[in-house]
Chain A
Amino acid sequence: MSTKLDPRTFALETKAISKHFGAVKAVDQLSMSIFSEWITCVVGPNGSGKSTLINLLSGMLPIDEGIVVIDTVGIRVLKAHETPDHGITRTFQEVRLFDQITVWDNIMVGLTERRLFPSLLERTKPRHQERAEEILRSVGMWEKRDAMAGDLSYGQRKLLEIGRVMALDVKIYLFDEPFAGLFPRMLERVKDILKEMRRQKRTVIFVSHNMDIVRELSDHIFVLDSGTLLAVGEVDEVLGRSTVIDAYLGH
């Protein structure tokens, strides 16, 4: 495993970022460096700030203090609609699809024109259709393409949400609990998608409570506790530390 810890470039760095909700410090002076082209896992007990961190990195919550460095560019204010320009996208812990439009349109939204006036003139393009078909087949939803997203089962919704972010051609993917509540067969599919992303030299950051999957997938792990960094490093070593075990079981 030692080769994995060779110096690499960072895809994403946070420098002492904080987020307060009233008196509660959800994320407190957190500095972390995410290696590019690796799968990084963020674990921690409930309420340790994992989801808040994902929300901060995807611009859905404003950062109170500190900066985020993406590709050596320091960003103080990260806006949600600018995150794809910075090369970031995300999925949600509780699945958030566009329920009353079709599976097909859910994917197409990730592919089509962003600018206002060009999008008004744009009709469906063959290259978008080909890419959408490719994505739907890879998440196993091609047969369901005409169904309303809201009519799908939980597992299918989870897969569709992952397919939806695949439509974005970005460098960094944030997955908030991508494995929660999935059947083994779908679990394998999501694992394969994450591994395939690593093969395509994307940076993947995911949050999970399933330690078997964390051990299997992660190249690098961050353990959060009460909004601060408890441990960081190579998976098996970090998960074996007594401080980490205490954080999970001790409270």
Chain B
Amino acid sequence: MALSTQAIGKLVRRTRDLRQRPRFARGNIELWANLIILSWSAAFMLWQGVGFAIQVSTFFAIWAILAVSLNLVVGYTGLLSVGHIGFFGIGAYAMAILSSDASYEQLRTEAIPTFGWPFFAALPVSVVLAGLVAVVVGIAFNRFRDDIYVLVSFGFAVIAFNIFLNWRALTRGAFGIHEIARPEIGGWTVNGTFEYLILVLVFLAIVVLISWFIVTSSFGRVLTAIREDEQAIEVFGYQTAHYKLAIWVISAMMAGLAGALFASKTSFIDPNSFVLLESILLVSIVILGGLATIWGSLLGAMAFVMLEEGMRFVPFLPAEHIGQARQVVLGILLVVLMLFRPQGLVGKFRL
């Protein structure tokens, strides 16, 4: 009897020690942020109809993969990288080149190598390629931290963009690459937008699950300790360079996956999708949602996509200025948030 009460007591203590309070119990602002963004998105989609909802959700999923993966590096490990879009671009171009069809040559003067691979053969290769580039870049970046890290990652984004733009024998430069393969599963081509949405959501779920697995492991705890004091954690026997490199490569592979999905979705890519500005928008999404929270990144990506679409319905705003207006609004949001809620909508950690 005594033994069993002891055992129960221990069990209760352990469950309590998991310290996972319900997500909504952490404060009113979080609750409101969740409610407003989710209900706004739902209402918007209902109002605009199924086609719109599918389109928006697909782009949400791609942005969400990017935001969640970047949060692993920026939020959890504290390495403020603005070069994430480079890996997105590598994934997209790898997918485009590997799967583009030789029979479709729009510009014969700018011939690029074509392979005509199926989607599911090109996808893992794109992801691995992004990972390989990340290993090289990560080893070089490992000696930097804080503000210098921002600068060197900035440099990486600029270099990546210029390679996409100027290596014309491979990327066809500013002309872009057309006719990127549609996903095919056992002879059935994923042509419909709804089927494609399901595919992208499955990949998002996989990315979220992997990220969740990482951040709740001992590995994840070490990452947060690296963010707080890298020298102090070294004294505890952790080789921080390895941890930083590992999470950097994992994150880059996820970005490569997002890029490959994006290329296949739009079936046309050009370097303009991979400019530094996109990378900075991505960092804003991560900070907006909250650093070191996966849910926050999902929420941030949803808010961002909805904001972009919502801009279309602002009266007296010419269509060609929607993009710029979006950046202005996002910029204002970021400033307001940093002033009044530096931990982001649902985060706990402050930059």
Whether A89 contacts B224 in the complex (CB less than 8 A), given A116-B219, A146-B19, comes out as no
Known pairs A96-B229, A98-B232, A102-B19; A81 contacts B240 (CB<8 A):
yes
Interface flag for B349 (CB, 8 Å): yes
Contact A108 B217 (CB under 8 A): no
| Cα distance A129–B214 in the bound complex, in angstroms | 19
Contact B231 A60, beta carbon cutoff 8 Å: yes
Contacting residue for A119 out of B13, B218, B224, B234, CB 8 A: B218
What is the size category of the interface that chain A forms with chain B? 35 or more
> Taking the complex as formed, is A100 at the interface, i.e. its CB lies under 8 A from any CB of chain B?
yes
A99 proximity list for chain B (CB < 8 A)? 228-229
B200 within 8 A of A: no
Please give, as numbers and ranges, the residues of chain A lying within 8 Å of B229 by CB-CB distance.
Answer: 96-99
Produce 1/0 per residue, A131-170, CB < 8 A to B: 0010000000000001000000000000000001000100
Please state if A109 and B222 are interface contacts (CB–CB under 8 Å): yes
Q: Are A89 and B235 in contact (CB under 8 A)?
A: yes
Q: In the assembled complex, how far is the CB of residue A108 from the closest CB belonging to chain B, in whole angstroms?
A: 6
How many chain B residues touch the partner (CB < 8 A)?
A: 33
For residue B26, CB closer than 8 A to chain A, the reply is no
* In the complex, per-residue mask of B214-245: 1 if CB is within 8 Å of any chain A CB, else 0: 10111101101101110111111111101100
Closest CB of chain B to A87's CB: distance in Å? Answer: 11
- Closest residue on chain A to residue B239 by CB atoms: A81
- A123 and B213 alpha carbons, distance in the complex (Å): 9
The reply to whether the CB of B17 lies closer than 8 angstroms to some CB of chain A is yes
Tell me the residues in window 180-239 of chain B with beta carbons closer than 8 Å to chain A beta carbons: 214, 216-219, 221-222, 224-225, 227-229, 231-239
Q: How near does chain A come to B73, taking the closest CB pair, in angstroms?
A: 16
B343 → A minimal CB distance (Å): 9
A106 to B228, CA, bound (A): 11
Q: Which residue of B lies closest to A112 (CB)?
A: B218
B246 contacts partner chain A, Cβ-Cβ < 8 Å: yes
A170–B258 CA distance with the chains assembled, in angstroms:
45
Contact of B228 among A80, A101, A121, A122 (CB under 8 A): A101
List of A residues within 8 angstroms of B18 by Cβ? 124
Q: How far is the CA of A25 from the CA of B348 in the complex (A)?
A: 44
A85 to B234, CA, bound (A): 12
The reply to whether A98 and B218 contact each other, CB–CB distance below 8 Å, is no
What residues on A are CB-neighbors of B19 within 8 Å?
102, 104, 146
Can you list 26 A-B contacts with CB-CB less than 8 angstroms, sorted by A residue number?
A59-B235, A81-B240, A84-B235, A84-B236, A84-B237, A89-B235, A92-B232, A98-B224, A98-B232, A98-B233, A99-B229, A101-B224, A101-B225, A109-B236, A110-B236, A112-B221, A112-B222, A113-B218, A114-B237, A119-B217, A121-B217, A122-B217, A122-B218, A124-B18, A146-B19, A164-B236
